[in-house]
């Protein structure tokens, strides 16, 4: 049964945002109870969760942020912004398809055909590029499920490509030995998609409702009474029926595709419902792994990640120092959804980011947005080839590593300097030969120099008799170089005479033993 927003607000008037919710725990329909296992759906129980070693070792994952919003290839948040009067995507839609009162988002979905979708071929390339896990879009804010959904007829098996996209990705990843993840963006859809219920405020069609306001379309556009043109990322005003509906769809996704990683675009939502979903994910996974949970759930709210529960995810950004627990940044080489003509990150920018993230105890999950056809464009293939070539030389210093005493040295950034974690990557500049980053594995310390020194390099943090208490170095090698290096260590640092030619483009890794 659905209730409208006014009824929901009447029932929930005294309820604070769900992170502070102290009311009765939700009752789940038969068949949707939490799987029995190590965890209950409470913060206290989930505080015992430990991040699995596979995630600590993986360091690099690839994401296909791909769905029906890729049909028109006009960038991210198209399904929302095409209903935002005057926005660039509204103007694009009106010019190319017509006014959203006559031709809505639902009408663009048949244009998403995925006629070149080749998950097996793509997954082989992603594995060769060094990815240890892959993530499929599960459901974006557009309310369209990318799997054969039990609770939503608007799904990829029924419409658009008429393929179980999540299932196909899952099989391809498993066949290549990659861990498999899915992403959930659904919780905020109740507000996010409400723009489809609006109307123009001016012009010849002023006051004529967009197609989302038609009740016969509510199964896609959601039955919402309020239009949130200014989106606030909190749960106030989201009714109970939507929370239960979200839970049922996420349970369907977890139960049928058994992801190793479940990503949420935001904080862990709907407190008790969300905690119950996480507990179910972990328990279901533990049942398949001899009682030990090997699954990962991510949250962008730091409080959800400090005491077990989840992995901290930072969108398009970096934490300021070595994080005490493994974390992840998710970013994209361009727009989240495919956009024609966008300028992609270069292989160097990706490599700089990867090394920087890993040096701070993090993982990089990188989105390659697929066009409507389902296959990478030529520029994306070039970026992927650059990453693959670099990883072929330097993977040893990335996979399975742990942070050192400090993450590195930069002339413009001190480790103690605070910075906002999310959405700070635009402030970053390409790193240079003056920037050093460290990782460790076993008895080896890897010193990444983020550019090629013409003749020699001095790595100051590896000096003798400093507070870092660096031991006497026994040997120095350069990954990808077979010759013997000339080097020396003293109170100024580790000085290395470099070969005439770099073994790879971008960052180079010196393997130091004994330090």
Give the model confidence (pLDDT) of 102-118 as tens digits.
999 999 999 999 999 99
Q: Which two tokens stand for residue 496?
A: 């290395």
The closest of 413, 448, 445, 412 to 433, measured between CA atoms, is: 448
Q: Which two tokens stand for residue 410?
A: 């930069």
Give 437's DSSP letter.
Answer: E
Residues of the chain within CATH 3.20.20.80 domain(s) are 29-315
Residues of the chain within CATH 2.60.40.1180 domain(s) are 408-513
CB-count exposure of residue 305 (10 Å: 0-12, 13-18, 19+)? buried
3-state SS of 98-125 is CCCCCCCHHHCHHHCCCCCCCHHHHHHH
Element at 179 (helix H, strand E):
strand 179-184
Tell me what pLDDT residue 411 has: 79
Instruction: Provide CATH code, domain 29-315.
Output: 3.20.20.80
Phi, psi of 211 (to 5 degrees): -65, -20
Distance CA 317, CA 331 (A): 8
Helix locations, 222-297, DSSP H: 240-257, 271-287
Q: List Cβ neighbours of 186 (8 Å cut-off, separation of 6 or more).
A: 138, 139, 140, 141, 143, 246, 249, 250
Give the model confidence (pLDDT) of 434-487 as tens digits.
999 999 999 999 999 999 998 999 999 999 999 999 999 999 999 999 999 999
Q: Name the CATH superfamily, with its identifier, for domain 408-513.
A: Golgi alpha-mannosidase II (2.60.40.1180)
Phi, psi of 494 (to 5 degrees): -95, 115
Q: How far is CA 242 from CA 3, 182, 238, 249, in A?
A: 9, 20, 7, 11
Distance CA 11, CA 1 (A): 15
Q: Is 199 left (phi over 0), alpha (psi -120 to 50) or beta?
A: beta
Tell me what pLDDT residue 222 has: 96
Distance CA 346, CA 131 (A): 17
510, β-bridge pairs: 447, 478
Alpha carbon of residue 279 to chain centroid: 21
Q: List Cβ neighbours of 130 (8 Å cut-off, separation of 6 or more).
A: 60, 387, 388, 391, 395, 398, 399
Q: Do residues 269 and 235 make contact, with C-beta atoms less than 8 angstroms apart? A: yes
Tell me what pLDDT residue 26 has: 66
Tell me what pLDDT residue 330 has: 97
Q: What percent of the chain has pLDDT over 90?
A: 85
The closest of 300, 187, 186 to 238, measured between CA atoms, is: 187
- Those residues of the chain that have pLDDT short of 70 are 1-26, 29-31, 412-423
Element at 436 (helix H, strand E):
strand 436-441
482: how many CB neighbours lie within 10 A of its CB? Answer: 8
Tell me what pLDDT residue 426 has: 72
Q: Do residues 228 and 115 make contact, with C-beta atoms less than 8 angstroms apart? A: no
């Amino acid at each position: 049964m659905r209730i409208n927003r006014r009824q929901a607000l009447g029932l929930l008037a005294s309820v604070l945002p769900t992170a502070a919710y102290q009311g009765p725990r939700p009752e789940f329909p038969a068949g949707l109870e939490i799987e029995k296992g190590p965890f209950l759906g409470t913060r206290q129980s989930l505080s015992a969760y430990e991040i699995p070693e596979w995630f600590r070792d993986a360091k690099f994952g690839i994401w296909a942020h791909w769905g029906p919003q890729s049909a028109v290839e006009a960038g991210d948040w198209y399904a929302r912004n095409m209903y935002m009067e005057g926005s660039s995507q509204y103007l694009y839609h009106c010019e190319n398809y017509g006014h959203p009162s006559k031709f809505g988002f639902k009408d663009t979905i048949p244009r998403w055909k995925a006629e070149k979708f080749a998950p097996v071929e793509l997954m082989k390339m992603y594995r060769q590029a060094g990815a240890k896990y892959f993530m499929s879009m599960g459901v974006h804010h557009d309310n369209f499920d990318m799997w054969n959904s039990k609770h939503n007829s608007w799904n990829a098996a029924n419409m658009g490509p008429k393929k179980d996209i999540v299932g196909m990705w899952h099989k391809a990843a498993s066949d290549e030995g990659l861990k498999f993840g899915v992403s959930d963006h659904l919780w905020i859809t109740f507000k996010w998609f409400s723009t489809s219920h609006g109307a123009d405020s001016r012009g010849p069609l002023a006051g004529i409702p967009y197609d989302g306001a038609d009740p016969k379309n509510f199964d896609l556009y959601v039955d919402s009474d309020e239009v949130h043109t200014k989106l606030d990322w909190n749960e106030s005003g989201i009714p109970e029926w939507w929370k239960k509906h979200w839970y049922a769809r996420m349970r369907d996704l977890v139960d049928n595709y058994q992801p190793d990683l479940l990503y949420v675009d935001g904080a862990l939502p709907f407190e008790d419902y969300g905690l119950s979903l996480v507990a179910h994910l972990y328990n279901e996974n533990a049942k398949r792994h001899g009682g030990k949970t090997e699954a990962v759930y991510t949250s962008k709210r730091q409080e959800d990640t400090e005491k077990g529960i989840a992995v901290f995810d930072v969108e398009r950004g970096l934490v300021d120092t070595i994080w005490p627990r493994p974390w992840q940044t998710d970013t994209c080489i361009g727009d989240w959804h495919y956009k024609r003509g966008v300028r992609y990150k270069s292989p160097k920018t990706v490599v700089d980011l990867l090394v920087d993230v890993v040096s701070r105890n993090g993982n990089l999950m990188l989105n390659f947005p697929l066009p409507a056809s389902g296959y990478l464009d030529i520029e994306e293939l070039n970026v992927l080839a650059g990453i693959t070539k670099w990883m072929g030389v330097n993977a040893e210093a990335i996979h399975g590593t742990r942070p050192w005493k400090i993450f590195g040295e930069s002339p413009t950034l001190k480790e103690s300097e605070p910075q906002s974690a999310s959405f700070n990557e635009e402030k970053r500049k390409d790193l240079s030969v003056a920037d050093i980053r460290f990782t460790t594995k076993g008895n080896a310390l890897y010193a990444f120099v983020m550019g090629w020194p013409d003749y020699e390099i001095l790595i100051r943090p590896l000096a003798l008799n400093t507070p870092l208490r660096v031991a006497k170095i026994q040997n120095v090698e350069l990954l990808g170089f077979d010759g013997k290096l000339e080097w020396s260590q003293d109170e100024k640092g580790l000085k290395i005479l470099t070969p005439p030619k770099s073994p790879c483009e971008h960052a180079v890794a010196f393997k130091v033993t004994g330090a």
